[in-house]
Structure 1
Amino acid sequence: MPWLYLLFAGLLEIVWATAMKQSHGFTRPLPTILMLITMAGSFFLLSLAMRSLPLGTAYVIWTGIGAVGAFVLGILMFGEALTPLRLLAAGMIIGGLILMKITTA
């Protein structure tokens, strides 16, 4: 169950990061409210996962899911560049997440 909490915490991190971008510096109320709600949910689920998972593992996987997800949404929603080196960097993060998962008891 902690891994499921961690997965959903990471997915909510993607949502709140995207909502933060769309809030335009907290000047738009709806994205700002969405950001605050999903941020609270993300932190709550992360805290539940950390009850049983090591701090380093939980935090690295949570931030990694958020980072890669925000990277993908940046490309799809905001027209950010998809270059071979950026793709390699995202792949390296994913590789790190996989290693972290398989090396955690």
Structure 2
Amino acid sequence: MNPWVLVILAGLMETGWAIGLKYSDGFTKPLPSALTIAGALASFWMLSLAMKDLPVGTAYAVWVGIGAVGTAVAAVAFFGDPVSLFRVLGIALIIAGIVALKLA
């Protein structure tokens, strides 16, 4: 599989397990906790596969960036996190960084 597709999927999985941490309620709820752990393992596994072909710094930074942007957007959608100009600009800067790393 294309390593960039793996990094994107791993980043989306990172978003999933980050949101899962909230639903797990400190790992006190069995099903959300199990899904969170499974998502984290899948995310790390896909990232490790992508790193076979991509530079470590690039793959890791893109993975974290996708996870950070995805988690911030999901938190607004699911938990009512506030939206502000600076939050949107910060997310835009992260996306710009991801694009720059892909083009580098």
Counterpart secondary structure, 1:52: coil
Corresponding letter in the other structure for 2:30: P
Unaligned regions of 5+ residues in structure 1, if any?
A: none
1:91 aligns with 2:92: yes
Corresponding letter in the other structure for 2:67: G
Correspondence for 1:63 = 64
Correspondence for 1:100 = 101
1:5 aligns with 2:23: no
- Give the number of equivalent residue pairs: 103
Corresponding letter in the other structure for 1:61: V
How far 1:44 moved relative to its partner?
A: 0.4
CA RMSD for the aligned pairs? Answer: 0.5
1:41 aligns with 2:52: no
1:80 aligns with 2:86: no
Counterpart secondary structure, 2:25: coil
Counterpart secondary structure, 2:65: helix
In the aligned structure 2, how far is the partner of 1:31 from the partner of 1:15? Answer: 11
Unaligned regions of 5+ residues in structure 2, if any?
A: none
In the aligned structure 1, how far is the partner of 2:95 from the partner of 2:50? Answer: 19
In the aligned structure 1, how far is the partner of 2:101 from the partner of 2:35? Answer: 30
In the aligned structure 1, how far is the partner of 2:12 from the partner of 2:56? Answer: 18
Corresponding letter in the other structure for 2:92: G
Q: TM-score, normalised by structure 1?
A: 0.97
How far 1:21 moved relative to its partner?
A: 1.0
In the aligned structure 2, how far is the partner of 1:61 from the partner of 1:36? Answer: 21
